[in-house]
C-alpha cells in the first residue's frame, strides 16, 4: 500500500506544479507498516531521495501534535490532528483556519521547534531529505542552516545588538563576509522602510511594525529553499505589506517553497497558490488543500 502511494505521488508530480490533494488517510495498520523501522530512515539521517518527489520541498503526512502538560493534571491538549500536505519549489501554500486550529503549531513543527507526536515531516535538504519526527538535534540544526527560514511573530534577540547586525547575522552565519552581509542587510531593511538611522539601533525601542520588519528581514536576507512565515504582515501598513509580498514573490521565483499564515489578507491572495484549510482537532481533521487555479 505504501509503495502504491509513493508511486502515485511521483507520477502526479511529474507535470503538475501542485499536489492534487492530501494523502489518503491510511488505516492504523498501514501507518505502522509505512513508518516501521525498515521503511523509515534512521531519525535525522538523510532519507533516500525517493521519499520526496522531484521538486517537492516539504511533505507533511498524517501529522499529529499533542501537548501533555504535567503541571496541570496532567492535561492533554491536541494541537494538530491528521495534517497532510505537500509543497513544491516555487509554490506558496497559505495555511488558513480559525484561531486554535493549530496553524502556528504546524509551522513550528516544520521548523523543528515542536516535536511531532506522530506522523511524518520531510524537508528537502539538497539532494536528500531530513525527517523532523524524532530527528537528531544536529540534523535539525544543519537543516535549518541550509534549508529553512522561519519568521515567527516575535523577535527574540540579544539586547544591545543593532537591527543591522541582527539582519546581517543569518548571512554571516552561512559564510558571507561581514561587509557583504551588512550591505545586503542594509539594502533589504531599506526596502522595508527601516531607515539607516534606525538600522544602527537595537530594536528594543522599535514599534511593533518595525520589529516585525526586522524579523522578516532576517528570514528573507538569505536565499532559503523553504520559507515559513507566521503572519508576516500582521502589524504592517499596506505599503510595507506590499513590499513583503513582493519579496516573497521574488523568493518563489528563485524556487523557494513558502508555507505561510496570512490571515485572509487580500494582498497575499496574489502570492499564494493554494490554501490549506485547518480545523481545530477533534472536528473532523483538516480537509484537502484548495487550489485557486481550479476553484477560484
Partner 1 sequence: MNEKPVLSASRVSCLYGSKAGCLDVSLEVFPGEILALVGESGSGKTTVLKAVSGQLKPSAGKVTYRDGQGLELDVHGLSEGRRRLMLRTELGFVHQNPRDGLNMAVSAGANVADRLLSGGERSYGRARSKALDWLDRVEIARDRLDDRPGLYSGGMLQRLQIARNLVTGPRLVFLDEPTGGLDASVQARLLDLIRELAAGLRLAAVLVTHDLAVARLLSQRLMVMKEGRVIESGVTDQVLDDPHEPYTQLLVSSILDS
Interacting residues with partner 1 (CB under 8 A): 67-71, 108, 112-115, 137-142, 156-161, 172-173
Q: Among candidates 49, 51, 53, which has minimal Cα distance to 15?
A: 53
Distance CA(91)–CA(138), nearest Å, equals 28
Least CB distance to partner 1 at residue 68 (A) = 7
Q: Among candidates 123, 133, 106, which has minimal Cα distance to 34?
A: 133
Least CB distance to partner 1 at residue 124 (A) = 15
Least CB distance to partner 1 at residue 70 (A) = 4
Q: Rank residues 79 and 244 by Cβ distance to partner 1 and give the closer one.
A: 79
Q: Rank residues 140 and 220 by Cβ distance to partner 1 and give the closer one.
A: 140
Q: Rank residues 67 and 250 by Cβ distance to partner 1 and give the closer one.
A: 67
Least CB distance to partner 1 at residue 161 (A) = 6
Here the cell at position 159 is: 539586547
Least CB distance to partner 1 at residue 137 (A) = 5
Q: Rank residues 9 and 139 by Cβ distance to partner 1 and give the closer one.
A: 139
Q: Rank residues 74 and 190 by Cβ distance to partner 1 and give the closer one.
A: 74
Least CB distance to partner 1 at residue 169 (A) = 8
Q: Rank residues 90 and 142 by Cβ distance to partner 1 and give the closer one.
A: 142
Amino acid at each position: 500500500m505504501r509503495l502504491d502511494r509513493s508511486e502515485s505521488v511521483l507520477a502526479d508530480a511529474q507535470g503538475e506544479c501542485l499536489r492534487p490533494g492530501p494523502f489518503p488517510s491510511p488505516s492504523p495498520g498501514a501507518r505502522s507498516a509505512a513508518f516501521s523501522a525498515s521503511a523509515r530512515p534512521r531519525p535525522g539521517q538523510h532519507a533516500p531521495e525517493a521519499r520526496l518527489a522531484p521538486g517537492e520541498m516539504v511533505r507533511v503526512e498524517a501529522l499529529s501534535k499533542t501537548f501533555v502538560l504535567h503541571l496541570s493534571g496532567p492535561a492533554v491538549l491536541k494541537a494538530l490532528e491528521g495534517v497532510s500536505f505537500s509543497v513544491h519549489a516555487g509554490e506558496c501554500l497559505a495555511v488558513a483556519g480559525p484561531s486554535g486550529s493549530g496553524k502556528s503549531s504546524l509551522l513550528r513543527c516544520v521548523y523543528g521547534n515542536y516535536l511531532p507526536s506522530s506522523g511524518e515531516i520531510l524537508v528537502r535538504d539538497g539532494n536528500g531529505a531530513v525527517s523532523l519526527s524524532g530527528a537528531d538535534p544536529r540534523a535539525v540544526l544543519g537543516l535549518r542552516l541550509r534549508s529553512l527560514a522561519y519568521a515567527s511573530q516575535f523577535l527574540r534577540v540579544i539586547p544591545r545588538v543593532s537591527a543591522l547586525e541582527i539582519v546581517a547575522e543569518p548571512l554571516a552565519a552561512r559564510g558571507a563576509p561581514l561587509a557583504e552581509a551588512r550591505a545586503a542587510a542594509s539594502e533589504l531593511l531599506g526596502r522595508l522602510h527601516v531607515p539607516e538611522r534606525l538600522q544602527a539601533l537595537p530594536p528594543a525601542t522599535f514599534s511593533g511594525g518595525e520589529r516585525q520588519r526586522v524579523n522578516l528581514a532576517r528570514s528573507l536576507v538569505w536565499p532559503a529553499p523553504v520559507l515559513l512565515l507566521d503572519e508576516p504582515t500582521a502589524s504592517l501598513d499596506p505599503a510595507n505589506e506590499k513590499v513583503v509580498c513582493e519579496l516573497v514573490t521574488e523568493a518563489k521565483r528563485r524556487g523557494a517553497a513558502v508555507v505561510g499564515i496570512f490571515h485572509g489578507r487580500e494582498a497575499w491572495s496574489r502570492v499564494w497558490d493554494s490554501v490549506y484549510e485547518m480545523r481545530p482537532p477533534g472536528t473532523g481533521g483538516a480537509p484537502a488543500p484548495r487550489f485557486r487555479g481550479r476553484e477560484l
